[in-house]
Amino acid sequence: MKDKLLFGAGLMAALYLVRNLYVILVDLPDEAQQGAIYRIFFFHLPPYFTAVVMFLGALIASIQYLRTKDFKYDCFAVSAIEVGLAFAAMNLVTGSIWGRQQWGIWWTWDARLTSALITWLIYAGYLMLRQAIPEPTQRAKNAAVLAIFAFTAVYFTYKANEWYRTQHPGPVLTFRTGKETIDRSMQNMLFHNTGAFLLLASVMVAHRMRLERNQREVESLRRFVHAH
């Protein structure tokens, strides 16, 4: 039953993405200066929001794990962080390509880009820490503490545009600037794509959680088989 639900959700996410792709490429108006390249924006900002939601979910799960010691929270945390890393990578790479075209540089060390990269590195370190600890309880505990520390980087990345003058463009969405700085249809498309990616991310997290549970089952089975 759960399998069917997951498959259905995945299918819906795929269809939603395809519909969004059509709208992005065909329906949306052109941007005044940038030409076609601005449409990358729809694969740059929604992955960032998705990644932030994933990391926030992992933070909450980590805190819950430390309070209840229930492994399902640990399972969710590692899955959410892995999926979040994939979307954060999308964010970094599309941003770099856009920057190459717009400003002629693949990268610059301003506050926004640097903190985004640091966030990615810290969460990659989380995965590496997990790999280095074989014992499940200690692994879950230490990883949970690291996830709590790591979220400060996410918050810093979000605020970096406000606090510093950066090469990266400042906020454009209405809920941050308070006024109409971006065309309505584009903003709606951004939210649509964020929704699609969030749906896709949920399906991926569910799959990854199943993998994690299986992996733990396999480990305990292996111990059992070798002990007898």
Q: How far is the CB of 143 from another protein (least distance, A)?
A: 9
Based on its alpha-carbon atoms, the radius of gyration of the chain, rounded to whole angstroms, reads 20
Q: How far is the CB of 89 from another protein (least distance, A)?
A: 5
Q: Which is nearer to another protein, 35 or 169 (CB)?
A: 35
Cβ pair 94, 43 in contact under 8 A: yes
Q: Which is nearer to another protein, 26 or 179 (CB)?
A: 26
Query: End-to-end alpha-carbon separation of the chain, Å?
Result: 35
- Whose tokens are 């969030």? That residue is 198
Cβ pair 9, 202 in contact under 8 A: yes
Q: Which is nearer to another protein, 148 or 182 (CB)?
A: 148
- CB-side neighbour CA atoms (13 Å) of 98: 22
Q: Which is nearer to another protein, 33 or 179 (CB)?
A: 33
Q: How far is the CB of 144 from another protein (least distance, A)?
A: 8
Q: How far is the CB of 179 from another protein (least distance, A)?
A: 26
Cβ pair 114, 161 in contact under 8 A: no
Q: How far is the CB of 125 from another protein (least distance, A)?
A: 5
Which residues of the shown chain bind another protein in the complex (CB under 8 A)?
25-26, 30-31, 34-37, 39-40, 43-44, 47, 66, 83, 86, 89-90, 93-94, 97-98, 100-101, 114-115, 118, 121-122, 125, 128-129, 132-133, 137-138, 141-142, 145-146, 148-150, 152-153, 156, 163-164, 200, 204, 207-208, 211, 214-215, 218, 221-222, 225, 228
Q: Which is nearer to another protein, 44 or 57 (CB)?
A: 44
Q: How far is the CB of 117 from another protein (least distance, A)?
A: 9
Q: How far is the CB of 71 from another protein (least distance, A)?
A: 14
Q: Which is nearer to another protein, 56 or 66 (CB)?
A: 66
Q: Which is nearer to another protein, 11 or 174 (CB)?
A: 11
